[in-house]
């Protein structure tokens, strides 16, 4: 009977305060320092629960770890009984909510909530569902089931409302806050990428600008750079779909990509040996070179626009190879990443291999293979040689 009473009190707390935005599972000894929570029930038994097992104030909920096993089993049994019986939808949703807060990986409970919400479109209930997801993500920020359910809810809202700008803005803020607390959270960033098709062009551009500072403070987190790449592609694809004048389109492309390349180079020089920065440069360079080559084929100009870019990248490579050694071997990693970057370009754009060899020879750096031998550590040299098809080349 105690477990049923605990579950009943827990569900009453959730019903009384639908705006709870944080949950903590505390050791029993920590409750003595919290004081008395909000009195949702005046019975003596409820008073014991509030002092010993539950605490709720200012939309913050604390649950004693002492009762978690009993509370979970009671919530699970109540949920399955309501799902398999003739219980009302309200009871099913209440039990499912209690169960998911305790165990957010319970996909069956999420599916039951989808089933009830799908019966009739109700914007208020869907927004309550977003509140529940945000609550769970506050203490389980990498829970895939919760992120997936949140996207389902947003999709239901988007099907009924054309203007998603305000909701998308709130989602972006939520993901940013979660990413600040949970490092390398690719699920959160993937959710942010998923939101891009629902953004206006202005929002996409604003997101690109706002993410700049975040990326500068988290240069080792590839997730934020992946997000920038998705934003850049969305901006470019948006211009093409709108059928804008080609000259304007090309001009905007140049400015966008030049600024991003310049910014990425600045970060590479400032933070040595960060693979995420070089990965971002690979993406930027590939698109940039393809665009320049396409313009050379169609444009009347006889001056190559690819050559200055290749010269610039070779200069960056030379600087990285000649960086003085340091005790953390950051310069060695930087040299290795820069060499692999140049080799990657030669593989992705075969037409540039001859130009690269020519520029390397001009600055007395030998051939592509020579650059790799100079830059890579011995234990990594052979695998890269085999992978790039350089192992059998003559010395």
Would the pLDDT of 241 be above 80? no
| CA separation for the pair 324, 330 (Å, rounded) | 10
60 vs 257, residue with greater confidence: 60
What average pLDDT score do residues 237-241 get? 65
Q: Where does the pLDDT of residue 366 fall: very low under 50, low under 70, confident under 90, or very high at 90 and above?
A: low
Would the pLDDT of 245 be above 50? no
Average predicted confidence (pLDDT) for the chain: 85
Would the pLDDT of 230 be above 70? yes
Q: What is the pLDDT of residue 377?
A: 76
Would the pLDDT of 143 be above 70? yes
Q: Where does the pLDDT of residue 184 fall: very low under 50, low under 70, confident under 90, or very high at 90 and above?
A: confident
Q: Where does the pLDDT of residue 326 fall: very low under 50, low under 70, confident under 90, or very high at 90 and above?
A: confident
Residue 359: CB atoms within 10 A of its CB come to 20
| CA separation for the pair 32, 41 (Å, rounded) | 20
The mean-pLDDT minimum among 4-13, 175-184, 380-389 falls in 380-389
Percent of the residues in the chain that have a pLDDT greater than 70, as a whole number: 87
The model's pTM: 0.85
| CA separation for the pair 383, 298 (Å, rounded) | 40
Q: What is the pLDDT of residue 303?
A: 65
Q: What is the pLDDT of residue 395?
A: 43
Would the pLDDT of 246 be above 50? no
Q: What is the pLDDT of residue 109?
A: 97
Q: What is the pLDDT of residue 262?
A: 95
Would the pLDDT of 121 be above 60? yes
Residue 83: CB atoms within 10 A of its CB come to 17
Q: Where does the pLDDT of residue 239 fall: very low under 50, low under 70, confident under 90, or very high at 90 and above?
A: low
Q: What is the pLDDT of residue 364?
A: 66
Q: What is the pLDDT of residue 394?
A: 44
* Strand order through the sheet with 60-64: 22-26, 60-64, 54-57
| CA separation for the pair 340, 278 (Å, rounded) | 9
What average pLDDT score do residues 334-347 get? 87
Would the pLDDT of 72 be above 50? yes
Is 322 buried (19+), middle (13-18) or exposed (0-12) by CB count in 10 A?
A: exposed
Pairing of strands 60-64, 54-57: antiparallel
Q: What is the pLDDT of residue 389?
A: 64
């Amino acid at each position: 009977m105690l477990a049923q009473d605990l579950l009943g009190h827990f569900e009453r707390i959730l019903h009384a305060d639908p705006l709870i935005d944080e949950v903590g599972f505390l050791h029993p000894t920590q409750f003595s320092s919290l004081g008395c929570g909000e009195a949702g029930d005046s019975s003596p038994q409820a008073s014991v629960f509030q002092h010993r097992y539950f605490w709720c104030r200012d939309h913050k909920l604390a649950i004693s770890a002492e009762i978690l096993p009993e509370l979970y089993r009671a919530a699970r049994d109540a949920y399955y009984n309501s799902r398999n019986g003739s219980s009302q939808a309200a009871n099913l949703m209440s039990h499912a909510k209690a169960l998911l807060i305790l165990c957010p990986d319970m996909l069956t409970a999420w599916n039951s909530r989808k089933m009830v919400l799908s019966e009739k479109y109700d914007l208020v209930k869907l927004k309550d569902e977003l509140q529940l997801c945000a609550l769970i993500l506050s203490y389980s920020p990498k829970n895939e089931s919760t992120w997936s359910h949140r996207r389902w809810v947003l999709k239901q809202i988007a099907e009924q409302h054309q203007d998603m700008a305000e909701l998308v803005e709130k989602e972006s803020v939520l993901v940013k806050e979660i990413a600040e607390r949970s490092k390398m959270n690719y699920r959160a960033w993937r959710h942010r990428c998923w939101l891009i098709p629902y953004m206006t062009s202005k929002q996409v551009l604003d997101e690109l600008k706002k993410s700049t500072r975040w990326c500068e403070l988290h240069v080792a987190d590839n997730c934020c750079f992946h997000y920038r790449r998705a934003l850049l592609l969305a901006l470019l694809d948006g211009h093409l779909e709108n059928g804008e004048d080609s000259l304007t389109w090309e001009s905007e492309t140049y400015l966008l990509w030049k600024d991003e390349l310049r910014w990425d180079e600045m970060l590479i020089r400032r933070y040595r040996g960060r693979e995420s920065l070089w990965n971002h440069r690979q993406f930027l360079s590939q698109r940039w070179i393809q665009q320049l080559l396409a313009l050379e084929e169609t444009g009347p100009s006889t001056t190559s626009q690819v050559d200055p870019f290749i010269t610039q990248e070779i200069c960056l490579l030379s600087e990285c190879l000649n960086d003085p050694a340091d005790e953390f071997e950051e310069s060695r990693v930087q040299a290795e990443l820069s060499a692999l970057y140049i080799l990657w370009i030669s593989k992705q754009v075969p037409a540039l291999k001859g130009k690269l060899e020519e520029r390397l020879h001009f600055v007395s750096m030998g051939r592509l293979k020579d650059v790799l031998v100079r830059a890579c550590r011995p234990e990594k040299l052979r695998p890269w040689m085999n992978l790039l098809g350089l192992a059998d080349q003559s010395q």
